Amino acid sequence: MAINESFPMILIAIALCCLVVNTEARWMIGNKLSWKRVIVVDQSGKGDYKNIQEAIDSVPSNNVESVFIRVEPGVYKEKVTVPEDKPFIILSGRKTETTIITWNDNGDIWKSPTVSILASDFVGRYLTIQNTYGAGAKAVALRVAGDRAEFYACKIVSYQDTLLDEQGRHFYNNCYIEGATDFICGNAVSIFQNCHIHSISTQNGAITAQHRTTPAEETGFFFVDSKITGVKSCTLGRPWGPYSRVLFIRTYMSNVVVPQGWDDWGKPSMHSTVYYGEYECYGPGANRSGRVEWSRSLTTEEASIISKDMIDGKSWIKA
């Protein structure tokens, strides 16, 4: 009789254990993310690998199946590269503040990154990615050069050229990006939604340096429902390329944004070719009365174009 009475309790216990183990997997499937293989990275030795690069290296070349790499909390002092022939990787921590990938390098923007994403169809979640070199040289924290890359609740931190958003279609959601000089740069077409942009510049350092070089390129940086804070003063951007394109939509701007808003990098010839605009931005730094005359107050129609559709997002951005 005692055995029969305890049997339901055993079943409940087993069910609870399964629920705990599968909570993340069930959540991911519910949000249109699924995978064929799970790899656990744990510095304590309880996972499949102790460092992240080893886990990525274990994914076969020309991979065609989704691989979920779960990174347990810890400070991972390593350079990480997802090579071009390893698409469909999901790299996820459990909590942004406790899952840290860090390195200290500078110089070449293509060689200094702490993390380099060269593959397509990549998803990064709940990670802090930092380059601790500091001021004085280019020091990239994250380089993204693959197509269809997504980042959720990631913290990306350096001083100069923090995020090299090099090429491809990218989506950043609820991310924190910090730097002082040109710290979001490159020639991707990217939407930054609900992101926190924090400038540590003390002398009008530019947040963006977008590299669009011809009017035919459908590239640009588009900030939607985001916010800008900082320590002293900054500009919204300056043109790395002559057709540089950056737009801010419904974004909060603190008083760190200087009244002129934008910088021409000493190249007045670009005034007629760059496309810099703002729409329904607010906060003490959003007052357009002092803006440079070659920036734009976007119309509702112009602003409405900025959506996931412009990067064919419905086909690859997860819910």
Strand pairing report for 252-253 and 245-249: unpaired
Percentages of the chain per state (helix, strand, coil), in multiples of 5: 20, 35, 45
90 and 62 Cβ atoms separated by less than 8 Å? no
End-to-end CA distance of the chain: 49
> Tokens standing for 22?
């599968």
The type of residue at 237 is: G
DSSP code of residue 281: -
> Tokens standing for 131?
């380059």
Q: Which whole-number Å values give the CA distances from 109 to 16, 265, 309, in the listed order? A: 48, 19, 30
Residues labelled catalytic: 161, 182
Query: 68 CB contacts (<8 Å, ≥6 apart)?
Result: 28, 35, 37, 38, 39, 90, 92
Query: 270 CB contacts (<8 Å, ≥6 apart)?
Result: 239, 242, 244, 264
